[in-house]
Amino acid sequence: MKQAIAILDSGVGGLTVVREVMRQLPREEIIYFGDTARAPYGPRDPQEVRQFTREIVAYLMQYDPKMIVIACNTATAVALDDIRAMVDVPVVGVIHPGARAAIKITRSNRIGVIGTVGTIRSDAYRIALESISPMVEVYSLACPDFVPLVEQGLYRSEEALHVVERSLEPLRGLPLDCLILGCTHYPFLADSISQVMGNDVRLISSAEETAREISTILYQTGRLERTVELPVHRFFCSGQPVTFQTIARQWLGNQIEVCPVVWQVPQIS
Amino acid sequence: MKQAIAILDSGVGGLTVVREVMRQLPREEIIYFGDTARAPYGPRDPQEVRQFTREIVAYLMQYDPKMIVIACNTATAVALDDIRAMVDVPVVGVIHPGARAAIKITRSNRIGVIGTVGTIRSDAYRIALESISPMVEVYSLACPDFVPLVEQGLYRSEEALHVVERSLEPLRGLPLDCLILGCTHYPFLADSISQVMGNDVRLISSAEETAREISTILYQTGRLERTVELPVHRFFCSGQPVTFQTIARQWLGNQIEVCPVVWQVPQIS
Protein backbone atom coordinates (compact mmCIF):
# COMPACT_ATOMS: atom_id res chain seq x y z
CA MET A 1 0.00 0.00 0.00
CA LYS A 2 1.18 3.49 -0.83
CA GLN A 3 2.01 6.00 1.88
CA ALA A 4 -0.03 9.10 1.14
CA ILE A 5 0.64 12.81 1.16
CA ALA A 6 -1.74 14.39 3.66
CA ILE A 7 -3.11 17.76 2.58
CA LEU A 8 -5.28 19.97 4.73
CA ASP A 9 -7.13 23.22 4.30
CA SER A 10 -9.92 25.26 5.85
CA GLY A 11 -12.18 24.18 2.99
CA VAL A 12 -11.90 23.71 -0.75
CA GLY A 13 -8.88 26.00 -1.35
CA GLY A 14 -6.38 23.19 -0.84
CA LEU A 15 -7.95 21.40 -3.80
CA THR A 16 -5.86 23.71 -5.99
CA VAL A 17 -2.79 22.10 -4.41
CA VAL A 18 -4.36 18.66 -4.86
CA ARG A 19 -4.91 19.27 -8.55
CA GLU A 20 -1.29 20.29 -9.00
CA VAL A 21 0.02 17.31 -7.02
CA MET A 22 -2.14 15.02 -9.17
CA ARG A 23 -0.71 16.65 -12.29
CA GLN A 24 2.95 17.00 -11.27
CA LEU A 25 3.16 13.80 -9.21
CA PRO A 26 0.63 11.43 -10.75
CA ARG A 27 1.95 8.40 -8.85
CA GLU A 28 1.40 9.91 -5.41
CA GLU A 29 -1.60 9.12 -3.25
CA ILE A 30 -3.41 11.92 -1.44
CA ILE A 31 -5.49 12.17 1.72
CA TYR A 32 -7.29 15.48 1.91
CA PHE A 33 -9.07 17.14 4.76
CA GLY A 34 -11.17 20.28 4.23
CA ASP A 35 -12.45 21.86 7.44
CA THR A 36 -15.55 23.20 5.69
CA ALA A 37 -17.58 23.28 8.91
CA ARG A 38 -15.25 25.92 10.32
CA ALA A 39 -14.18 27.78 7.13
CA PRO A 40 -13.12 30.46 6.47
CA TYR A 41 -10.00 30.63 8.66
CA GLY A 42 -8.93 34.06 7.37
CA PRO A 43 -10.86 36.22 9.84
CA ARG A 44 -10.31 33.91 12.85
CA ASP A 45 -8.07 34.42 15.84
CA PRO A 46 -4.56 32.94 15.28
CA GLN A 47 -4.79 30.86 18.47
CA GLU A 48 -7.94 29.24 17.19
CA VAL A 49 -6.47 28.53 13.73
CA ARG A 50 -3.44 26.97 15.42
CA GLN A 51 -5.71 24.74 17.50
CA PHE A 52 -7.81 23.66 14.49
CA THR A 53 -4.69 22.85 12.49
CA ARG A 54 -3.29 20.69 15.29
CA GLU A 55 -6.59 18.83 15.51
CA ILE A 56 -6.67 18.07 11.80
CA VAL A 57 -3.05 16.99 11.69
CA ALA A 58 -3.67 14.66 14.63
CA TYR A 59 -6.59 13.20 12.69
CA LEU A 60 -4.57 12.77 9.49
CA MET A 61 -1.61 11.18 11.27
CA GLN A 62 -3.80 8.15 11.93
CA TYR A 63 -3.37 7.34 8.23
CA ASP A 64 0.44 7.24 8.52
CA PRO A 65 1.16 9.83 5.80
CA LYS A 66 4.69 10.42 4.53
CA MET A 67 4.28 14.19 4.51
CA ILE A 68 1.95 16.87 5.85
CA VAL A 69 1.02 19.74 3.56
CA ILE A 70 -0.68 22.73 5.16
CA ALA A 71 -2.45 23.91 2.02
CA CYS A 72 -3.88 27.00 3.68
CA ASN A 73 -1.92 30.21 3.88
CA THR A 74 -3.66 31.38 7.04
CA ALA A 75 -2.82 28.13 8.83
CA THR A 76 0.72 28.09 7.43
CA ALA A 77 1.28 31.63 8.69
CA VAL A 78 0.39 30.79 12.28
CA ALA A 79 0.86 27.03 12.72
CA LEU A 80 3.74 25.78 10.52
CA ASP A 81 6.38 25.73 13.27
CA ASP A 82 3.94 24.14 15.69
CA ILE A 83 3.15 21.30 13.31
CA ARG A 84 6.84 20.79 12.50
CA ALA A 85 7.44 20.23 16.20
CA MET A 86 4.42 17.94 16.45
CA VAL A 87 5.16 15.29 13.77
CA ASP A 88 8.22 13.47 12.51
CA VAL A 89 7.51 13.58 8.77
CA PRO A 90 8.35 16.56 6.53
CA VAL A 91 5.86 19.42 6.86
CA VAL A 92 5.36 21.76 3.92
CA GLY A 93 3.47 25.03 4.03
CA VAL A 94 2.27 27.15 1.12
CA ILE A 95 3.97 30.45 1.94
CA HIS A 96 7.66 29.80 1.33
CA PRO A 97 7.16 28.04 -2.04
CA GLY A 98 5.34 31.09 -3.39
CA ALA A 99 7.96 33.41 -1.90
CA ARG A 100 10.83 31.45 -3.47
CA ALA A 101 9.09 31.37 -6.85
CA ALA A 102 8.58 35.14 -6.70
CA ILE A 103 12.26 35.70 -5.95
CA LYS A 104 13.19 33.44 -8.86
CA ILE A 105 10.85 35.21 -11.28
CA THR A 106 11.10 38.88 -10.36
CA ARG A 107 13.48 41.12 -12.22
CA SER A 108 12.39 44.38 -10.57
CA ASN A 109 12.38 42.99 -7.00
CA ARG A 110 8.90 44.45 -6.58
CA ILE A 111 6.53 41.73 -5.54
CA GLY A 112 2.81 41.89 -4.84
CA VAL A 113 1.00 39.58 -2.43
CA ILE A 114 -2.74 39.10 -2.01
CA GLY A 115 -4.25 36.95 0.72
CA THR A 116 -6.81 36.71 3.47
CA VAL A 117 -6.95 39.23 6.30
CA GLY A 118 -5.22 36.71 8.56
CA THR A 119 -2.38 36.02 6.15
CA ILE A 120 -1.77 39.66 5.30
CA ARG A 121 -1.98 40.74 8.94
CA SER A 122 0.57 38.08 9.91
CA ASP A 123 2.98 39.64 7.38
CA ALA A 124 4.21 36.10 6.73
CA TYR A 125 5.02 36.65 3.05
CA ARG A 126 7.02 39.79 3.72
CA ILE A 127 8.91 38.00 6.49
CA ALA A 128 9.57 34.98 4.24
CA LEU A 129 10.66 37.14 1.30
CA GLU A 130 12.92 39.37 3.37
CA SER A 131 14.44 36.42 5.22
CA ILE A 132 15.73 35.21 1.84
CA SER A 133 16.53 38.47 0.09
CA PRO A 134 16.96 41.96 1.60
CA MET A 135 16.44 43.53 -1.84
CA VAL A 136 12.74 42.93 -2.31
CA GLU A 137 9.96 45.45 -1.93
CA VAL A 138 6.64 43.86 -0.99
CA TYR A 139 3.16 45.24 -1.65
CA SER A 140 0.48 43.38 0.33
CA LEU A 141 -3.28 43.51 0.04
CA ALA A 142 -6.01 41.60 1.86
CA CYS A 143 -8.89 40.44 -0.35
CA PRO A 144 -11.46 39.18 2.17
CA ASP A 145 -14.23 38.79 -0.42
CA PHE A 146 -12.47 36.12 -2.50
CA VAL A 147 -12.73 33.03 -0.27
CA PRO A 148 -16.51 33.20 0.30
CA LEU A 149 -17.03 33.41 -3.49
CA VAL A 150 -14.99 30.26 -4.00
CA GLU A 151 -16.44 28.32 -1.07
CA GLN A 152 -19.91 28.98 -2.50
CA GLY A 153 -18.82 27.77 -5.92
CA LEU A 154 -19.40 31.19 -7.53
CA TYR A 155 -15.87 31.61 -8.89
CA ARG A 156 -16.94 31.49 -12.53
CA SER A 157 -19.75 34.05 -12.16
CA GLU A 158 -19.98 37.57 -13.56
CA GLU A 159 -20.13 38.75 -9.94
CA ALA A 160 -16.69 37.21 -9.33
CA LEU A 161 -15.06 39.43 -11.95
CA HIS A 162 -16.63 42.54 -10.39
CA VAL A 163 -15.46 41.57 -6.91
CA VAL A 164 -11.93 40.93 -8.22
CA GLU A 165 -11.85 44.25 -10.05
CA ARG A 166 -12.99 46.20 -7.03
CA SER A 167 -10.70 44.36 -4.61
CA LEU A 168 -7.51 44.73 -6.67
CA GLU A 169 -7.98 48.44 -7.37
CA PRO A 170 -5.28 49.48 -4.80
CA LEU A 171 -2.62 47.42 -6.64
CA ARG A 172 -3.21 48.76 -10.13
CA GLY A 173 -0.52 51.08 -11.39
CA LEU A 174 2.04 49.84 -8.85
CA PRO A 175 5.37 48.77 -10.40
CA LEU A 176 4.98 45.04 -9.70
CA ASP A 177 6.26 42.38 -12.06
CA CYS A 178 4.72 39.46 -10.20
CA LEU A 179 1.82 38.84 -7.87
CA ILE A 180 1.68 35.97 -5.39
CA LEU A 181 -1.76 34.42 -5.04
CA GLY A 182 -1.21 34.06 -1.31
CA CYS A 183 -4.29 31.98 -0.67
CA THR A 184 -4.92 28.53 -2.06
CA HIS A 185 -8.47 29.55 -2.98
CA TYR A 186 -7.27 32.22 -5.39
CA PRO A 187 -6.24 30.02 -8.36
CA PHE A 188 -9.99 29.40 -8.79
CA LEU A 189 -10.14 33.13 -9.65
CA ALA A 190 -6.88 33.23 -11.65
CA ASP A 191 -8.49 34.16 -14.97
CA SER A 192 -10.26 37.17 -13.49
CA ILE A 193 -7.19 38.25 -11.51
CA SER A 194 -5.02 38.00 -14.60
CA GLN A 195 -7.51 39.98 -16.65
CA VAL A 196 -7.51 42.77 -14.06
CA MET A 197 -3.74 42.89 -13.47
CA GLY A 198 -2.68 42.66 -17.13
CA ASN A 199 -0.05 40.66 -18.96
CA ASP A 200 2.99 42.36 -17.45
CA VAL A 201 2.27 40.98 -13.99
CA ARG A 202 3.04 37.27 -13.69
CA LEU A 203 0.76 35.44 -11.31
CA ILE A 204 2.38 32.99 -8.94
CA SER A 205 0.13 30.21 -7.79
CA SER A 206 1.15 28.95 -4.39
CA ALA A 207 -0.62 25.73 -5.39
CA GLU A 208 1.65 25.08 -8.40
CA GLU A 209 4.77 26.08 -6.51
CA THR A 210 3.91 24.03 -3.45
CA ALA A 211 3.39 20.93 -5.59
CA ARG A 212 6.78 21.57 -7.18
CA GLU A 213 8.41 21.78 -3.74
CA ILE A 214 6.59 18.69 -2.50
CA SER A 215 8.25 16.94 -5.45
CA THR A 216 11.66 18.35 -4.50
CA ILE A 217 11.38 17.33 -0.87
CA LEU A 218 10.01 13.85 -1.56
CA TYR A 219 12.91 13.30 -3.95
CA GLN A 220 15.54 14.73 -1.63
CA THR A 221 14.35 12.63 1.31
CA GLY A 222 13.97 9.44 -0.75
CA ARG A 223 10.18 9.36 -0.38
CA LEU A 224 9.03 9.57 -4.04
CA GLU A 225 6.44 6.94 -4.92
CA ARG A 226 7.92 4.25 -7.17
CA THR A 227 5.00 1.87 -7.60
CA VAL A 228 3.02 2.11 -10.81
CA GLU A 229 -0.48 1.21 -9.54
CA LEU A 230 -2.93 4.06 -9.87
CA PRO A 231 -3.24 5.95 -6.61
CA VAL A 232 -6.51 6.00 -4.69
CA HIS A 233 -7.16 9.41 -3.21
CA ARG A 234 -9.33 10.00 -0.17
CA PHE A 235 -11.23 13.18 0.62
CA PHE A 236 -12.71 14.18 3.94
CA CYS A 237 -14.56 17.30 4.96
CA SER A 238 -15.93 18.33 8.31
CA GLY A 239 -19.13 19.96 7.02
CA GLN A 240 -21.89 18.91 4.65
CA PRO A 241 -20.21 17.14 1.75
CA VAL A 242 -22.57 18.33 -1.02
CA THR A 243 -21.01 21.68 -2.01
CA PHE A 244 -17.54 20.32 -1.30
CA GLN A 245 -18.10 17.38 -3.60
CA THR A 246 -19.55 19.57 -6.37
CA ILE A 247 -16.52 21.86 -6.32
CA ALA A 248 -14.09 18.96 -6.02
CA ARG A 249 -15.59 17.29 -9.08
CA GLN A 250 -15.59 20.50 -11.11
CA TRP A 251 -11.99 21.14 -10.20
CA LEU A 252 -10.51 17.66 -10.17
CA GLY A 253 -12.74 15.61 -12.41
CA ASN A 254 -15.75 13.41 -11.95
CA GLN A 255 -14.00 10.51 -10.34
CA ILE A 256 -13.83 12.21 -6.95
CA GLU A 257 -15.78 10.68 -4.08
CA VAL A 258 -15.93 12.51 -0.80
CA CYS A 259 -16.06 10.29 2.26
CA PRO A 260 -18.77 11.15 4.72
CA VAL A 261 -16.53 12.12 7.58
CA VAL A 262 -17.15 10.87 11.04
CA TRP A 263 -15.19 13.75 12.40
CA GLN A 264 -14.47 13.58 16.03
CA VAL A 265 -11.96 16.13 17.12
CA PRO A 266 -9.10 13.89 18.25
CA GLN A 267 -7.41 14.35 21.58
CA ILE A 268 -4.09 16.07 21.20
CA SER A 269 -1.40 14.91 23.53
CA MET B 1 31.96 32.92 9.76
CA LYS B 2 29.37 31.76 7.26
CA GLN B 3 29.20 28.17 6.13
CA ALA B 4 29.36 28.21 2.36
CA ILE B 5 27.52 26.44 -0.44
CA ALA B 6 30.13 24.52 -2.45
CA ILE B 7 29.49 24.53 -6.19
CA LEU B 8 31.53 22.57 -8.70
CA ASP B 9 31.66 22.23 -12.44
CA SER B 10 33.93 21.07 -15.22
CA GLY B 11 34.68 24.71 -16.03
CA VAL B 12 32.75 27.96 -16.28
CA GLY B 13 29.26 26.47 -16.82
CA GLY B 14 28.50 26.31 -13.10
CA LEU B 15 28.88 30.10 -12.98
CA THR B 16 25.33 30.27 -14.33
CA VAL B 17 24.25 28.53 -11.13
CA VAL B 18 26.47 30.86 -9.10
CA ARG B 19 24.84 33.91 -10.63
CA GLU B 20 21.40 32.60 -9.79
CA VAL B 21 22.38 31.71 -6.22
CA MET B 22 23.83 35.22 -5.80
CA ARG B 23 20.55 36.67 -7.10
CA GLN B 24 18.05 34.39 -5.36
CA LEU B 25 20.02 33.90 -2.13
CA PRO B 26 22.09 37.04 -1.71
CA ARG B 27 23.06 36.22 1.89
CA GLU B 28 24.67 32.90 1.03
CA GLU B 29 28.42 32.46 0.66
CA ILE B 30 29.77 30.41 -2.24
CA ILE B 31 32.93 28.38 -2.84
CA TYR B 32 33.29 27.49 -6.49
CA PHE B 33 35.56 25.03 -8.20
CA GLY B 34 35.87 24.92 -11.99
CA ASP B 35 37.92 22.02 -13.30
CA THR B 36 39.05 24.02 -16.34
CA ALA B 37 42.23 21.98 -16.76
CA ARG B 38 40.16 18.90 -17.53
CA ALA B 39 37.07 20.46 -19.21
CA PRO B 40 34.96 19.54 -21.08
CA TYR B 41 33.52 16.56 -19.21
CA GLY B 42 30.83 15.86 -21.82
CA PRO B 43 32.83 13.56 -24.12
CA ARG B 44 34.72 11.78 -21.29
CA ASP B 45 34.25 8.27 -19.99
CA PRO B 46 31.70 8.13 -17.12
CA GLN B 47 34.20 6.37 -14.82
CA GLU B 48 36.63 9.21 -15.29
CA VAL B 49 34.00 11.91 -14.66
CA ARG B 50 32.97 10.07 -11.50
CA GLN B 51 36.58 10.02 -10.33
CA PHE B 52 37.13 13.74 -11.07
CA THR B 53 33.93 14.65 -9.24
CA ARG B 54 34.96 12.69 -6.16
CA GLU B 55 38.34 14.42 -6.17
CA ILE B 56 36.84 17.90 -6.34
CA VAL B 57 34.26 17.15 -3.64
CA ALA B 58 37.04 15.85 -1.39
CA TYR B 59 38.90 19.10 -2.01
CA LEU B 60 35.86 21.27 -1.29
CA MET B 61 34.94 19.37 1.88
CA GLN B 62 38.07 20.84 3.48
CA TYR B 63 36.15 24.13 3.63
CA ASP B 64 33.32 22.61 5.67
CA PRO B 65 30.50 23.58 3.28
CA LYS B 66 26.85 23.17 4.28
CA MET B 67 25.84 21.80 0.89
CA ILE B 68 27.43 20.37 -2.26
CA VAL B 69 26.03 21.45 -5.61
CA ILE B 70 27.12 19.46 -8.65
CA ALA B 71 26.55 22.25 -11.17
CA CYS B 72 27.45 20.08 -14.13
CA ASN B 73 24.87 17.92 -15.83
CA THR B 74 27.42 15.38 -17.04
CA ALA B 75 28.78 14.91 -13.51
CA THR B 76 25.28 14.87 -12.00
CA ALA B 77 24.24 12.18 -14.45
CA VAL B 78 27.04 9.80 -13.45
CA ALA B 79 28.19 10.82 -9.96
CA LEU B 80 25.23 12.17 -7.93
CA ASP B 81 24.52 8.95 -6.01
CA ASP B 82 28.22 8.43 -5.39
CA ILE B 83 28.65 11.87 -3.87
CA ARG B 84 25.50 11.46 -1.77
CA ALA B 85 27.06 8.36 -0.24
CA MET B 86 30.39 10.15 0.25
CA VAL B 87 29.39 13.24 2.29
CA ASP B 88 26.96 13.99 5.09
CA VAL B 89 25.63 17.34 3.87
CA PRO B 90 22.80 17.71 1.32
CA VAL B 91 23.94 17.12 -2.26
CA VAL B 92 22.06 18.81 -5.08
CA GLY B 93 22.47 18.04 -8.76
CA VAL B 94 21.22 20.02 -11.73
CA ILE B 95 19.14 17.39 -13.50
CA HIS B 96 16.13 16.90 -11.23
CA PRO B 97 15.45 20.62 -10.68
CA GLY B 98 15.16 21.14 -14.44
CA ALA B 99 13.02 18.02 -14.77
CA ARG B 100 10.63 19.14 -12.02
CA ALA B 101 10.37 22.63 -13.49
CA ALA B 102 9.52 21.14 -16.89
CA ILE B 103 6.78 19.00 -15.38
CA LYS B 104 5.40 22.05 -13.60
CA ILE B 105 5.41 24.17 -16.75
CA THR B 106 4.40 21.81 -19.54
CA ARG B 107 0.79 21.62 -20.60
CA SER B 108 1.35 19.28 -23.57
CA ASN B 109 3.62 16.84 -21.67
CA ARG B 110 6.08 17.10 -24.58
CA ILE B 111 9.42 18.16 -23.24
CA GLY B 112 12.67 18.82 -25.09
CA VAL B 113 16.12 18.37 -23.54
CA ILE B 114 19.46 19.51 -24.92
CA GLY B 115 22.77 18.62 -23.31
CA THR B 116 26.27 17.29 -23.83
CA VAL B 117 26.90 13.94 -25.45
CA GLY B 118 27.56 12.46 -22.00
CA THR B 119 24.33 13.78 -20.49
CA ILE B 120 22.14 12.79 -23.42
CA ARG B 121 23.77 9.36 -23.71
CA SER B 122 23.15 8.74 -19.99
CA ASP B 123 19.44 9.40 -20.62
CA ALA B 124 19.37 10.97 -17.16
CA TYR B 125 16.70 13.55 -17.97
CA ARG B 126 14.35 11.00 -19.48
CA ILE B 127 14.85 8.75 -16.47
CA ALA B 128 14.27 11.66 -14.05
CA LEU B 129 11.18 12.86 -15.92
CA GLU B 130 9.64 9.40 -16.26
CA SER B 131 10.38 8.53 -12.64
CA ILE B 132 8.11 11.41 -11.66
CA SER B 133 5.45 11.27 -14.37
CA PRO B 134 4.66 8.43 -16.77
CA MET B 135 2.78 10.85 -19.05
CA VAL B 136 5.69 12.78 -20.50
CA GLU B 137 7.20 12.40 -23.93
CA VAL B 138 10.86 13.43 -24.05
CA TYR B 139 12.81 14.63 -27.09
CA SER B 140 16.57 14.66 -26.45
CA LEU B 141 19.37 16.17 -28.49
CA ALA B 142 23.10 16.37 -27.86
CA CYS B 143 24.70 19.70 -28.79
CA PRO B 144 28.44 19.00 -28.52
CA ASP B 145 29.47 22.32 -30.09
CA PHE B 146 27.97 24.54 -27.39
CA VAL B 147 30.37 24.04 -24.46
CA PRO B 148 33.58 24.79 -26.38
CA LEU B 149 32.04 28.07 -27.60
CA VAL B 150 31.27 29.08 -24.03
CA GLU B 151 34.56 27.93 -22.51
CA GLN B 152 36.36 30.06 -25.10
CA GLY B 153 34.22 33.07 -24.22
CA LEU B 154 32.66 33.21 -27.72
CA TYR B 155 29.04 32.96 -26.58
CA ARG B 156 28.11 36.45 -27.77
CA SER B 157 29.59 36.05 -31.26
CA GLU B 158 27.86 35.86 -34.62
CA GLU B 159 29.38 32.39 -34.95
CA ALA B 160 27.51 31.31 -31.82
CA LEU B 161 24.13 32.03 -33.40
CA HIS B 162 25.06 29.99 -36.47
CA VAL B 163 26.21 27.05 -34.37
CA VAL B 164 23.00 27.20 -32.33
CA GLU B 165 20.84 27.35 -35.46
CA ARG B 166 22.58 24.40 -37.06
CA SER B 167 22.62 22.32 -33.87
CA LEU B 168 18.94 22.78 -33.00
CA GLU B 169 17.68 22.00 -36.51
CA PRO B 170 16.46 18.48 -35.50
CA LEU B 171 14.15 19.93 -32.82
CA ARG B 172 12.39 22.52 -34.95
CA GLY B 173 8.82 21.71 -35.82
CA LEU B 174 8.49 19.19 -32.98
CA PRO B 175 5.45 19.80 -30.75
CA LEU B 176 7.42 20.86 -27.64
CA ASP B 177 6.16 23.48 -25.25
CA CYS B 178 9.32 23.65 -23.18
CA LEU B 179 13.01 22.94 -23.63
CA ILE B 180 15.35 22.10 -20.77
CA LEU B 181 18.80 23.63 -21.12
CA GLY B 182 20.37 20.46 -19.77
CA CYS B 183 23.87 21.84 -19.43
CA THR B 184 24.86 24.67 -17.12
CA HIS B 185 26.85 26.26 -19.94
CA TYR B 186 23.78 26.78 -22.08
CA PRO B 187 22.24 29.80 -20.33
CA PHE B 188 25.21 31.73 -21.77
CA LEU B 189 23.59 30.98 -25.15
CA ALA B 190 19.98 31.47 -24.01
CA ASP B 191 19.27 34.46 -26.27
CA SER B 192 20.35 32.59 -29.39
CA ILE B 193 18.53 29.41 -28.36
CA SER B 194 15.35 31.36 -27.69
CA GLN B 195 15.62 33.13 -31.05
CA VAL B 196 15.94 29.81 -32.86
CA MET B 197 13.20 27.94 -30.96
CA GLY B 198 10.61 30.74 -30.98
CA ASN B 199 8.31 32.20 -28.35
CA ASP B 200 6.06 29.17 -27.96
CA VAL B 201 8.84 27.08 -26.43
CA ARG B 202 9.68 28.07 -22.88
CA LEU B 203 13.32 27.62 -21.99
CA ILE B 204 14.07 26.05 -18.63
CA SER B 205 17.40 27.02 -17.17
CA SER B 206 18.74 24.32 -14.91
CA ALA B 207 20.76 27.11 -13.29
CA GLU B 208 17.70 29.11 -12.23
CA GLU B 209 15.81 26.02 -11.14
CA THR B 210 18.73 24.59 -9.21
CA ALA B 211 19.16 27.85 -7.29
CA ARG B 212 15.47 27.73 -6.46
CA GLU B 213 15.80 24.19 -5.13
CA ILE B 214 18.94 25.05 -3.18
CA SER B 215 16.77 27.67 -1.48
CA THR B 216 14.04 25.09 -0.77
CA ILE B 217 16.44 22.55 0.69
CA LEU B 218 18.40 25.04 2.80
CA TYR B 219 15.10 26.27 4.24
CA GLN B 220 13.65 22.81 4.79
CA THR B 221 16.81 21.60 6.57
CA GLY B 222 17.20 24.77 8.66
CA ARG B 223 20.42 25.83 6.91
CA LEU B 224 19.43 29.22 5.42
CA GLU B 225 21.98 31.94 6.16
CA ARG B 226 20.62 34.42 8.71
CA THR B 227 23.55 36.79 9.18
CA VAL B 228 23.42 40.07 7.31
CA GLU B 229 27.15 40.60 6.60
CA LEU B 230 27.91 40.56 2.91
CA PRO B 231 29.13 37.16 1.82
CA VAL B 232 32.69 36.66 0.55
CA HIS B 233 32.73 34.24 -2.35
CA ARG B 234 35.77 32.19 -3.31
CA PHE B 235 36.57 30.89 -6.77
CA PHE B 236 39.05 28.20 -7.67
CA CYS B 237 39.94 26.71 -11.01
CA SER B 238 42.33 23.94 -11.88
CA GLY B 239 43.70 25.47 -15.10
CA GLN B 240 45.04 28.87 -16.11
CA PRO B 241 42.89 31.46 -14.35
CA VAL B 242 42.96 34.11 -17.12
CA THR B 243 40.05 33.02 -19.35
CA PHE B 244 38.12 31.79 -16.33
CA GLN B 245 38.45 35.13 -14.60
CA THR B 246 37.45 37.06 -17.74
CA ILE B 247 34.28 35.03 -18.16
CA ALA B 248 33.50 35.11 -14.42
CA ARG B 249 33.76 38.91 -14.40
CA GLN B 250 31.62 39.30 -17.52
CA TRP B 251 29.00 37.00 -16.09
CA LEU B 252 29.04 37.89 -12.39
CA GLY B 253 30.41 41.39 -12.23
CA ASN B 254 33.81 42.95 -11.79
CA GLN B 255 34.26 42.19 -8.13
CA ILE B 256 35.21 38.58 -8.81
CA GLU B 257 38.72 37.46 -7.90
CA VAL B 258 39.82 34.00 -8.85
CA CYS B 259 42.23 32.36 -6.45
CA PRO B 260 45.29 30.85 -8.04
CA VAL B 261 44.62 27.28 -7.11
CA VAL B 262 47.27 25.09 -5.67
CA TRP B 263 45.41 22.09 -6.85
CA GLN B 264 46.67 18.84 -5.57
CA VAL B 265 44.33 16.01 -6.24
CA PRO B 266 43.39 14.96 -2.71
CA GLN B 267 43.50 11.36 -1.59
CA ILE B 268 40.07 9.83 -1.43
CA SER B 269 39.48 7.41 1.36
Quick one: residue B167, left, alpha or beta (phi over 0 = left, psi -120 to 50 = alpha)? alpha
Kindly state whether residues B136 and B218 are assigned to the same domain: no
Query: In this complex, do B212 and A104 lie within 8 Å of one another by their Cβ atoms?
Result: yes
Report the half-sphere exposure of A163 (CA within 13 A, side-chain side): 20
In terms of Cβ atoms closer than 10 Å to its own Cβ (0-12, 13-18, 19+), residue A138 is: buried
- In angstroms and rounded to an integer, the radius of gyration of the C-alpha atoms of chain B is 18
- Tell me, what's the ipTM? 0.86
Kindly state whether residues A71 and A99 are assigned to the same domain: no
Nearest alpha carbon to residue B200 among B130, B106, B137, B133: B106
Let me know if residue B124 belongs to a domain. yes
Let me know if residue A162 belongs to a domain. yes
Shortest Cα distance, chain B CAs vs residue A193, angstroms: 20
Kindly state whether residues A35 and A74 are assigned to the same domain: yes
Contact B192, B158 (CB under 8 A): no
Residue B10 annotated as binding?
yes
Q: Give the residue from A162, A184, A206 where a domain finishes.
A: A206
Residue B74 annotated as binding?
yes
Contact B111, B178 (CB under 8 A): yes
User: Which pLDDT value is given to residue A44?
Assistant: 92
Let me know if residue B265 belongs to a domain. no
Kindly state whether residues A103 and A90 are assigned to the same domain: no
Average pLDDT over residues B36-60: 93
d(C-alpha A243, C-alpha A241), whole Å: 6
Residue in chain A lying closest to B131 (CA): A226
* B220 in contact with chain A, both atoms CB, cutoff 8 A: yes
Average pLDDT over residues B83-95: 97
* A138 in contact with chain B, both atoms CB, cutoff 8 A: no
Kindly state whether residues B117 and B200 are assigned to the same domain: yes
* B166 in contact with chain A, both atoms CB, cutoff 8 A: no
State pLDDT tens for residues A53-87.
Answer: 999 999 999 999 999 999 999 999 999 999 999 99
pLDDT for residue B108 is more than 60: yes
User: Which pLDDT value is given to residue B99?
Assistant: 97
Chain A environment of B27 (Cβ under 8 Å): 132-134
Chain B environment of A80 (Cβ under 8 Å): none
> Which member of A92, A133, A219 has the closest CB to residue B26?
A133
Let me know if residue A268 belongs to a domain. no
pLDDT for residue B260 is more than 60: no
Residue A73 annotated as binding?
yes
* B224 in contact with chain A, both atoms CB, cutoff 8 A: yes
- In angstroms and rounded to an integer, the radius of gyration of the C-alpha atoms of chain A is 17
Kindly state whether residues A157 and A28 are assigned to the same domain: no
Kind and range of the H or E run holding B212? helix B206-220
User: Which pLDDT value is given to residue B269?
Assistant: 44
Let me know if residue B269 belongs to a domain. no
Instruction: Using pLDDT thresholds of 50, 70 and 90, give the confidence band for residue B226.
Output: confident
Query: In this complex, do A24 and B131 lie within 8 Å of one another by their Cβ atoms?
Result: no
Kindly state whether residues A168 and A230 are assigned to the same domain: no
Q: What is the CATH number of the domain that holds A56?
A: 3.40.50.1860
pLDDT for residue B107 is more than 80: yes
- Which residues in chain A come in under a pLDDT of 70? 254-255, 258-269
Number of other CB atoms surrounding residue B46 within 10 Å:
16
d(C-alpha A178, C-alpha A198), whole Å: 11
Kindly state whether residues A200 and A118 are assigned to the same domain: yes
Query: Can you give the residue range of the structural domain that contains A46?
Result: 5-94+209-260
User: Which pLDDT value is given to residue A269?
Assistant: 44
> Which member of A25, A100, A134 has the closest CB to residue B212?
A100
Query: In this complex, do A220 and B26 lie within 8 Å of one another by their Cβ atoms?
Result: no
Residue in chain A lying closest to B218 (CA): A132
Domains contained in chain B, number:
2
Kind and range of the H or E run holding B260? strand B258-260
Q: Is the peptide bond before A40 cis (omega within 30 degrees of 0)?
A: yes
Query: In this complex, do A25 and B212 lie within 8 Å of one another by their Cβ atoms?
Result: no
Query: In this complex, do B27 and A100 lie within 8 Å of one another by their Cβ atoms?
Result: no
d(C-alpha B80, C-alpha A194), whole Å: 40
Q: Which amino acid is at A198?
A: G
Q: Percent helix, strand, coil in chain B (nearest 5)?
A: 45, 15, 35
